[in-house]
Structure 1
Amino acid sequence: MNVLIAVDMEGISGITGWNQVLPEKDEYARGRRWMTADVNAAVAGALQAGAERITVTDGHWDGSNILIEELAPEASLVNGSPSPLSMVQGVQNGVDAAVFIGYHARAGTQNAILDHTWSSLRIHNFWLNGSLAGEIAMNAAVCGSFNVPVVAISGDQNACAEAAALIPQIRTAQVKTANGRMNAECLSLERAHDLITSTVREAVKNFRQVKPYVLTGPISFAIEFYRSDMADYASLLPGSKRTSGRIVEYNAPDILEAAQAFRAMVGMVKV
């Protein structure tokens, strides 16, 4: 069995603020250790379920956050940026099931730790096929294009709820309860790791019960940026359509082109 563990940082156990997830901040070193420990808990669960190959993809910031010297030896690590499939790089390599660790809710979600969609400094709202969406939906859809189900997720209560609304069969490990954007009641790391391990174990063991999240083409998306000059830059992408002062739309034949166009558009924008 081949398992992909796709990892973000804002939903990691114990994380509640930007100072723990941004490289220039003083608490980032602690955040990296917590992130690596959550990953190892997920690796343990996948191994207990019979996984023979485990790929861990570091999807936060520039993809160089997980401490490889502390990573479980049974896993390989995809790190660095950019990569063709970004946060779920590796899903194209015969993966049977994907697990999302440390994920966060989409931009604008109430009581969600560090809620944002891709860029907290650029994107105000994001719609995928007309529905408000975040990184969970985008990455799950990319996995779905390879017929890979997302079987488990860890994060706060609203990240878990967002995933469950898309994938009813998904198993969730709620490691904290957010009271706002930067305050949460967090499980102890020991309890959080036990929860992640047991959740991933059961999810991977029963991965055939989960249907891939598939969005058939054509695919449309729209980004509402924070400022109109950001939309000025984004609308330079060939194929894009400016629909208002801050909103740029794009139509693609499939989710893979849509995901690449989305990344290119956001990357063109100056903060």
Structure 2
Amino acid sequence: MKIYISTDIEGLAGIVDWDMESGDTEIFRNLYNEQLEWVLEGIQKSSVNEKITDILLVDSHAKGNNLSYDRLSDFDDRISLLSGWPREDYMMSCLDNSFDQVVFVGYHAGIGKQGGNMDHGYSARSAYKIWINNKYQNETTINVAYASEVGVPVTLVIGDSALKEQLIDEHMFDSPKYVTTKKSLARYAALSFPRKKVRTATIDAVKEVLQNPAPYSTLPIPKLPARLKVQVYNTAQADAISQLQDINRIDGRTIETTANSIHDLMNEILAIVAIGGTQGRFNGA
């Protein structure tokens, strides 16, 4: 068996503000690595542990240079670590149909979610809202759609309460097992649950989905070719992005394009936010 783990930080317990990355870097990195170790503990304690040959960890926050290769490799010698930026498919790089399950760790609410802690979509510096075929999407649902296109189920999501509301209560993607790490209160405020509680819940959930993946399913792939619409933060970003040949500008801050696959659509988004990020400095990731 091969397990794919895509990671982010905004949905982790103990992290509530992007300023922690520069102001409390050591604490920030420890929280990130530690909560991934809880996922690895769940794998090691599962009844299928001996069948698992490969575990790919994908560092998908900011420039993807946050996780410790030495620390995580010492914890489990099956670990491969994917780091760095820019890279194709970013949060889902190197996923193929040889993997058996995908797990999302540290995922967060999409932009505009009331009470969402550090809510954003791929980049808090450039992307505001994202729609596929006129339906609002967040990072999680787009990444799940890509995994579905590849043919690998996303069985477990670990993140904040606001993302759980979007996925489960609002039925954006209500089939995965979900572990809630903190109660989101505002963009820069959250109530992180007791460490022991989150660790135990994480270990138990990982064991459950590995030992019984049947209840969990892929997300239906949006109708293709898909219409992608992105609202960026300011008109300067739209000015730059709209110079690309395949981009149609709808209004001052909104651009659109089409894609023939979720793979192409996701990489269009990544290119759009990368270009948009060069047009000014903003708080966030």
Q: What is the deviation of 1:208?
A: 2.8
Q: What letter corresponds to residue 186 of structure 1 in structure 2?
A: S
SS in 2 for 1:56: strand
Q: What letter corresponds to residue 68 of structure 1 in structure 2?
A: Y
Q: Are 1:251 and 2:258 counterparts? A: yes
Q: Are 1:194 and 2:191 counterparts? A: no
Q: What letter corresponds to residue 96 of structure 1 in structure 2?
A: D
Task: Indicate the residue corresponding to 1:31 in structure 2.
Answer: 28
Instruction: Give the conservation status (yes or no) of the 8 Å contact 2:141–2:173.
Output: no
SS in 1 for 2:145: helix
Instruction: Give the conservation status (yes or no) of the 8 Å contact 1:113–1:181.
Output: yes
Q: What is the deviation of 1:88?
A: 1.4
Structure 1 stretch displaced more, 83-92 or 59-68: 83-92
Instruction: Give the conservation status (yes or no) of the 8 Å contact 2:97–2:151.
Output: no
Unaligned regions of 5+ residues in structure 2, if any? 281-285
Q: What letter corresponds to residue 27 of structure 1 in structure 2?
A: D
Following superposition of structure 1 onto structure 2, how do residues 69-218 of structure 1 map, counting pairs within 5 Å?
Answer: 69-71=70-72, 72-73=75-76, 74-92=78-96, 94-164=98-168, 165-215=171-221, 216-218=223-225
CA distance in structure 1 between the aligned counterparts of 2:25 and 2:218, rounded to whole angstroms: 34
Q: What letter corresponds to residue 135 of structure 1 in structure 2?
A: E
Structure 1 stretch displaced more, 41-50 or 119-128: 41-50
Following superposition of structure 1 onto structure 2, how do residues 33-72 of structure 1 map, counting pairs within 5 Å?
Answer: 33-47=30-44, 48-50=46-48, 51-71=52-72, 72=75
Q: What letter corresponds to residue 57 of structure 1 in structure 2?
A: V
Q: What is the deviation of 1:32?
A: 1.0
Instruction: Give the conservation status (yes or no) of the 8 Å contact 1:153–1:163.
Output: no
Q: Are 1:240 and 2:247 counterparts? A: yes
CA distance in structure 2 between the aligned counterparts of 1:195 and 1:14, rounded to whole angstroms: 16
CA distance in structure 2 between the aligned counterparts of 1:86 and 1:202, rounded to whole angstroms: 27
Instruction: Give the conservation status (yes or no) of the 8 Å contact 2:38–2:202.
Output: yes
Instruction: Give the conservation status (yes or no) of the 8 Å contact 1:13–1:35.
Output: no
Query: What CA RMSD, in Å, does the superposition of the two structures yield over aligned residues?
Result: 1.5
Q: What is the deviation of 1:49?
A: 4.8
1:131-164 Cα deviation digits (max 9, x unpaired): 1111111111111111111111111111123233
TM value normalised by structure 2: 0.89
SS in 1 for 2:164: helix
Q: What letter corresponds to residue 15 of structure 2 in structure 1?
A: I
Q: What is the deviation of 1:18?
A: 1.3
Instruction: Give the conservation status (yes or no) of the 8 Å contact 2:177–2:216.
Output: no
CA distance in structure 2 between the aligned counterparts of 1:146 and 1:204, rounded to whole angstroms: 19
Instruction: Give the conservation status (yes or no) of the 8 Å contact 2:249–2:255.
Output: yes
SS in 2 for 1:250: strand
TM value normalised by structure 1: 0.94
How many residues end up aligned between the 2 structures? 268
Report % sequence identity: 24
Task: Indicate the residue corresponding to 1:2 in structure 2.
Answer: 2
